[in-house]
Amino acid sequence: MSINDNLKNHESIHSVKVLIKHRRTGEFIARKSLLTDLFQISHINCVRNAFIAGFILMISRQTITDLIHYGRFNWTFELLFQTVGKLHIVAIVWSLMTLSTAFTVFYGTYMWINNRKFVGVYLKFYDIIWLLIYVCYLTGLMVIPSWQIIKYQLPIVSSAIILAEQLRQLMKIHSFVRENVGKILQQSNKSIDQKLSFEFSHFNQYLYFLFAPTLLYRDNYPRTSIIQWNIVMKMFGQFIIILFLVYNIITNFWMPIFTRFFTNDDITFEFMISTIFDLMLPGVLIVILSFYGFFHCWLNGFAELLRFADRMFYEDWWNLTSAATFWRSWNVVVHDWLYVYVYQDLRKLSNGNRNLSTSCVVLLSAIFHEYFMIVSLGFFSPILIAWFGLFGVLFRFAFPRAKGTRWNIVLLTFVPICVAIIPYFYVLEVSARYFPSKRKTFWNIMFNNDKPSNYEL
């Protein structure tokens, strides 16, 4: 490599560090995703090429093995058909949710603000009525789609699509309402001479926000001048390829491990340790592919399609040394929403108690993750609440400002352990319900009950 190439690489690395350092929560500026900048460095791009080569070899191995043993491709999509189905119901539920979020929320908020002409006690009573309407609407948006999932017994992936959209729209609704409430309160605190005419958000601004890759509402975002269709096709094309790779890893590496739960009568300590370690490597590959596929490809594809110029959807979580900064950097989109609308509001209510506010944010995140799993799987086993809610809080306070390479190693070691233990316990719970006479579910253990568990949806 020439001296000029080395200088360009060093300049690229320096510019990326400056970009990360000056990022502020809730601030929107035109910037690229971190990996987009890093892939301009030949040394970093080589790592991606190594992953691509590894996946090509993995697919080639499977193909050659099928041709040798069966004389044909033996690619099975049985798992796909079992986990994805009834897509017409998914489309109907998603359409109704989106139409309701687009029109009911916008015009309901407009009616509340436009008719807010009372004073004194009447104004408070008027606001309380609309607050109750707002809470009832959010409750309905939580309950009705979940009820449809249970009623039609949707497969796990189909359920996950509806639940992911449900939670995304809930956060977007709260952000839109919260920001406009903030405008009203700012106007109310001004004197008569200082008050300006209040301009409510336009419907096209709100509609753009519903599909933009952010959960923080602003009337205007930095926009690019044109849509680069080659980038759109590249991002969504890579996303489809990653879906295929994740499915291939699950069917060829995870599913043979999961069958052990249904073929072995006894779950021994040796079985548990060997199974967890066997799940680690495929689990890490799934996490890396899922992160790159969603946070980089999917979100960048939509950002380019909508000319959304701020592409900072994640930070360099792989370099971090504490649990707090890890969760903050893994998913910038959700973290910003939690920080602005949960953490900051709780700090105001608790007179600046940071530890209480942080603990509530972690627990709220764990509860919504657990809710996602409850409705998708059809039963309640508090694995994510215990793992993220309990261990997440402990890690947060045990290593709040840890520094150094050794802590980065600890964190990177914890990731594969996490992605192996969580599916292990969920499959163990499923197998306990499959063999109720031989194994106990979580609730059987908790209440020392030998009868099959009834804690199913």
pLDDT at position 42 is 85
| Short-list 239, 216, 211, CA closest to 307 | 211
Number of continuous H segments (helices) and E segments (strands) in the chain? 22, 0
CA dist 420 and 275 (Å) reads 9
pLDDT at 453: 46
Full-model pTM: 0.83
Distances in Å between the alpha carbon of 291 and those of 281, 285, 286?
Answer: 15, 10, 8
List the pLDDT tens digit at each of the 457 positions of the chain. 444 554 454 444 444 444 454 567 778 888 889 899 888 888 888 888 888 898 888 888 888 887 887 777 777 778 888 888 889 999 999 999 999 999 999 999 888 888 877 777 888 888 899 999 999 999 999 999 999 999 999 999 999 999 999 999 999 999 999 888 877 776 665 544 444 455 778 899 999 999 999 999 998 999 999 999 999 999 999 999 999 999 989 988 898 888 888 777 677 788 888 999 999 999 999 999 999 999 999 999 999 999 999 999 998 888 877 766 777 788 889 989 998 898 888 888 877 777 788 778 888 888 888 889 889 888 877 888 777 766 666 666 666 565 667 777 877 888 888 889 889 988 888 887 776 655 555 545 554 555 444 444 4
Among 442, 420, 6, 373, smallest CA distance to 163 is for 373
Length of the chain: 457
Give the residue numbers annotated as catalytic, written as ranges.
369
Tokens of 275: 């199974």
pLDDT score of 384? 80
pLDDT at 436: 60
Helix (H, G, I), strand (E, B) or coil at 217: coil
Cα–Cα distance, 352 to 347 (Å, whole number): 4
> What does the pLDDT read at residue 452?
47
Q: What is the pLDDT of residue 191?
A: 46
**DSSP designation for 225:** S
Task: State how far Cα 211 lies from the chain centre.
Answer: 16
- pLDDT for res 328: 77
End-to-end CA distance of the chain: 61
The residues, any chain, with a CB within 8 Å of residue 49's CB and separated by 6 or more, are none
* Rounded Cα–Cα distance for residues 455 and 21 (Å): 48
DSSP state of 202: P
Q: What is the pLDDT of residue 3?
A: 45
